[in-house]
């Protein structure tokens, strides 16, 4: 926070000195007040001042903030003078201040505002019937108090991400296109009915989603991430200045040149066409799904050491080649992770027996990494089973409570890290709201099936270790390990996937002390990006007895050199926080990679490995996952186990196994289902019982 204040102050001083040195008058100052909520925090509090400064303008920006505030509540507050706001202000020098418990009349009188904006809360933003009479009453109160304002704006909010787990998303059928169309209709009506200028942030975000960066403008499905915030701010600049933002030189830290270019184009197009998505030539039309179009490629020689000698037995693999490959993946792809912190300790939060209808015993344990930094484990073991039991360990996407309807599971706040560290400082940290409903992803964790088979289930929420959005590595576990003066990982230091894998190892540290689970019989499992995580965790920590990758795709189990579906270039654009910075140089340059994913799979050997794909998930390249498993199985052969050489890829619904390495292709889309779990259980029975 202090660093950001200094940067803004320094930018303001430089701008003033430049204009004075040039003999020019100081630039005109534009004063803007937003009456909003967390969506206005995303849009005006970051980047807008800096974009304007780069263009030679000074913006004083005020934001009257209440989380989730509707027009109805704003109208009542304006009429009653309730001191209910956090008044957040960016001054002419770029320094940000916050004044809590502030009434709207105070802020209206604080500056001679030139511009004032209004907005509806996001759940109601697509419902025009929720706007009145509140918008009329709010505008009347404001205009009566601010004679200086010459412009009034309506801030258009944006549709949620396609996979958002927001309790309000069902209002729009959980359909992004429906929500976007509804917001367009309602915001157009509001703007035209009250002669307000529109700030088309909703269209700008939708434009950005039409680029090759896809639906990656939010950090939690609805609030914007770094590039989303930049897109929204650029849109505001276009409207306020009447100028084209394209070519503006300000680039926020940790955003790539490509992201900024796409964001500026999205904002400029929205300013020109506020109510419809514009195709401005940056769509993902270059994705290949045709086997015939795969370029000729040659895989790196897995069984040849860097000095040119061949690996002809398991001793050479273990003594030399495995270490070489692991070092390459660590340095060039995932990044180095630290050891367990010496301060690590645990706390039993809750335990119960005979839960889930008498099927299970439950334990909930908090693992503390450092002050105010922890993750919560949810542990189920079969009731009445002889302890300790074998178990499946995996990370969940939306909180421990999301995997089950069990009312005894403590609610995990999806935004726990962000709230804990003040990214959403206006929210009440004691409310314990959750963005994901209890049991929202229970289908991905068929507890009855797993527990009835004699296995325990251990899980934790990914956000307890690192948030899955590009936040510049400010709000995850990385900060615990920064050296003095460090604010970002070095090029060969861990990204989010390595951090999640680190969290899996910390969970296993605890399980070694838990009497209910046999830590020597733990299978690590993950789906999608967490499938990539499970593979890296299995490669990094030999204590995991079995490794399972479900639909892990690009940079997981699929061969990168095939260039089909998602590619290294696309994944680095879309998810720049997943890997270390060194990996960025391989985007569109896969043939220069010193490894490919078959070698990642081989790092699990000789422990059992299961790879699974879905027939309708061509984005993840099922054939590339199968071929990687075939190539990797050569290392299992060094240990005397059967490999997959000569085995044909199964049809959808089929499976193949070579003893310690197995593969199946499920019918359907990108998901993890009971079909997958049954195969994993059957496979684990051969090794963990």
DSSP 157-208: --PPPTT---TTGGGGTT-HHHHHHHHHHHHHHHHHHTTPEEE-HHHHHHHH
The pLDDT, as a whole number, for residue 336 is 97
Q: Is residue 594 part of a domain?
A: yes
The pLDDT, as a whole number, for residue 413 is 61
The pLDDT, as a whole number, for residue 505 is 98
CATH of residue 262's domain is 3.40.50.1110
The pLDDT, as a whole number, for residue 93 is 94
511 and 459 Cβ atoms separated by less than 8 Å: no
Rounded CA gap, 275 and 200, in Å? 7
Is there a single domain that holds both residue 93 and residue 109? yes
Is there a single domain that holds both residue 309 and residue 435? no
Say which DSSP state 91 is in: -
Is there a single domain that holds both residue 174 and residue 208? yes
Query: Alpha helices of 381-466 — where are they, by DSSP H?
Result: 416-420, 447-452
The pLDDT, as a whole number, for residue 373 is 86
Is there a single domain that holds both residue 135 and residue 217? yes
**Sign of the torsion formed by the C-alpha atoms of 98, 110, 66 and 225:** negative
Q: Is residue 529 part of a domain?
A: no
Neighbours of 193 (CB within 10 A): 14
Is there a single domain that holds both residue 502 and residue 359? yes
Domain that holds residue 577: 300-334+552-670
Is there a single domain that holds both residue 187 and residue 97? yes
Q: Is residue 174 part of a domain?
A: yes
Closest to 665 measured CA to CA, from 611, 605, 619: 611
pTM above 0.85, yes or no: no
Give the residue carrying structure tokens 């991430």.
225
Among all residues, which ones are annotated catalytic? 528, 670
Q: Is residue 475 part of a domain?
A: yes
Is there a single domain that holds both residue 114 and residue 172? yes
The pLDDT, as a whole number, for residue 19 is 45
CATH of residue 608's domain is 3.40.50.1820
Is there a single domain that holds both residue 180 and residue 257? yes
Q: Is residue 544 part of a domain?
A: no
Say which DSSP state 317 is in: I
Whole-Å CA distances, 406 to 268, 360, 367, 435:
48, 11, 22, 17
Is there a single domain that holds both residue 152 and residue 74? yes
Is there a single domain that holds both residue 385 and residue 508? yes
Q: Is residue 545 part of a domain?
A: no
Q: Which of 471, 505, 524 is the last residue of a domain?
A: 524
The pLDDT, as a whole number, for residue 281 is 58
Q: Is residue 277 part of a domain?
A: no
- Average pLDDT along the chain, 689 residues, taken 10 residues at a time: 47 48 59 96 96 96 96 96 96 95 96 96 92 95 91 97 86 89 92 94 94 85 94 98 95 87 94 87 66 90 97 96 98 95 90 97 94 92 96 95 95 52 31 62 96 98 88 85 91 97 98 97 98 98 98 98 92 90 92 96 98 96 98 97 94 95 97 97 97
The pLDDT, as a whole number, for residue 82 is 95
Q: Is residue 31 part of a domain?
A: yes
Neighbours of 537 (CB within 10 A): 30
Is there a single domain that holds both residue 231 and residue 364? no
The pLDDT, as a whole number, for residue 257 is 85
Is there a single domain that holds both residue 149 and residue 200? yes
Number of domains in the chain: 3
């Amino acid at each position: 926070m202090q660093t950001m204040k200094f940067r803004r102050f320094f930018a303001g001083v430089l701008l003033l000195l430049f204009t004075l040195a040039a003999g020019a008058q100081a630039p005109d100052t534009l004063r803007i007040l937003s009456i909003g909520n967390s969506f206005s925090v995303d849009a005006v509090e970051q980047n807008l001042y800096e974009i304007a400064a780069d263009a030679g303008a000074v913006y004083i920006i005020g934001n009257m903030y209440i989380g989730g505030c509707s027009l109805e509540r704003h109208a009542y507050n304006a009429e009653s003078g309730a001191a209910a706001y956090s008044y957040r202000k960016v001054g002419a020098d770029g320094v940000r201040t916050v004044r809590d418990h502030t009434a709207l009349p105070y802020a209206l009188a604080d500056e001679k505002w030139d511009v004032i904006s209004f907005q509806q809360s996001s759940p109601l933003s697509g419902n025009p019937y929720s706007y009145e009479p509140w918008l009329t009453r709010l505008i009347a109160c404001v205009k009566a108090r601010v004679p200086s304002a010459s412009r009034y704006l309506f801030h258009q909010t944006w549709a949620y991400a396609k996979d958002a787990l927001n309790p309000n998303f069902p209002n729009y059928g959980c359909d992004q296109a429906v929500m976007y169309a509804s917001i367009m209709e309602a915001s157009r009506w509001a703007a035209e009915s009250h002669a307000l200028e529109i700030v088309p942030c909703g269209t700008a975000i939708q434009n950005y989603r039409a680029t090759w960066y896809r639906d990656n403008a939010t950090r939690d499905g609805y609030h914007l991430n770094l590039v989303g915030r930049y897109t929204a701010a650029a849109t505001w600049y276009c409207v306020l200045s009447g100028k084209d933002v394209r070519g503006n030189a300000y680039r926020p830290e940790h955003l790539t040149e490509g992201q900024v270019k796409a964001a500026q184009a999205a904002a400029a197009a929205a300013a020109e066409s506020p109510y419809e998505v514009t195709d401005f030539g940056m769509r993902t039309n270059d994705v290949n799904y045709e086997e015939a179009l795969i370029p000729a490629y040659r895989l790196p020689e897995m069984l040849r050491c860097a000095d040119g000698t061949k690996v002809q037995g398991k001793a050479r693999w273990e003594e030399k080649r495995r270490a070489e490959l692991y070092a390459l993946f660590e340095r060039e792809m995932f990044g180095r992770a630290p050891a367990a912190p010496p301060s690590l300790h645990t706390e039993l939060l809750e335990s119960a027996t005979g839960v889930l209808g008498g099927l299970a015993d439950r334990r909930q344990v908090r693992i503390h990494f450092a002050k105010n930094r922890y993750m919560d484990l949810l542990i189920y073991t079969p009731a009445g089973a002889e302890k300790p039991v074998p178990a499946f360990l995996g990370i969940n996407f939306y909180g421990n409570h999301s995997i089950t309807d069990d009312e005894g599971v403590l609610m995990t706040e999806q935004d726990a890290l962000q709230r804990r560290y003040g990214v959403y400082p206006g929210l009440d940290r004691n409310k314990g709201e959750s963005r994901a409903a209890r049991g929202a992803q229970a289908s991905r964790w068929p507890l009855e099936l797993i527990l009835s088979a004699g296995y325990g289930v251990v899980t934790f929420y990914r956000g307890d270790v690192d948030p899955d959005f590009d936040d510049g590595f400010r709000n995850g576990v990385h900060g615990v390990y920064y050296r003095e003066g460090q604010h970002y990982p070095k090029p060969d230091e861990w990204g989010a996937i390595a951090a999640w894998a680190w969290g899996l190892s910390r969970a296993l540290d605890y399980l070694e002390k838990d009497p209910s689970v046999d830590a020597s019989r733990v299978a690590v499992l993950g789906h999608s990006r967490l499938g990539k995580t499970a593979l890296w965790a299995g490669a990094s920590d030999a204590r995991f007895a079995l490794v399972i990758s479900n639909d892990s795709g690009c940079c997981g189990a699929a061969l990168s050199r095939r260039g089909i579906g998602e590619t290294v270039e696309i994944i680095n654009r879309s998810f720049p926080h997943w890997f270390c910075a060194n990996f960025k140089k391989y985007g569109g340059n896969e043939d220069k990679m010193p490894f490919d994913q078959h070698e990642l799979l081989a790092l699990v050997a000789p422990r059992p490995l299961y790879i699974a794909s879905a027939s309708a998930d061509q984005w993840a390249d099922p054939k590339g996952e199968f071929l990687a498993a075939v190539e990797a199985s050569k290392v299992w052969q060094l240990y005397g186990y059967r490999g997959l050489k000569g085995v044909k890829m199964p049809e959808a619904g089929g499976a193949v196994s070579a003893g310690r390495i197995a593969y199946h292709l499920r019918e359907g889309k990108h998901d993890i289902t009971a079909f997958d779990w049954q195969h994993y259980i059957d496979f684990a029975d051969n090794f963990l019982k």
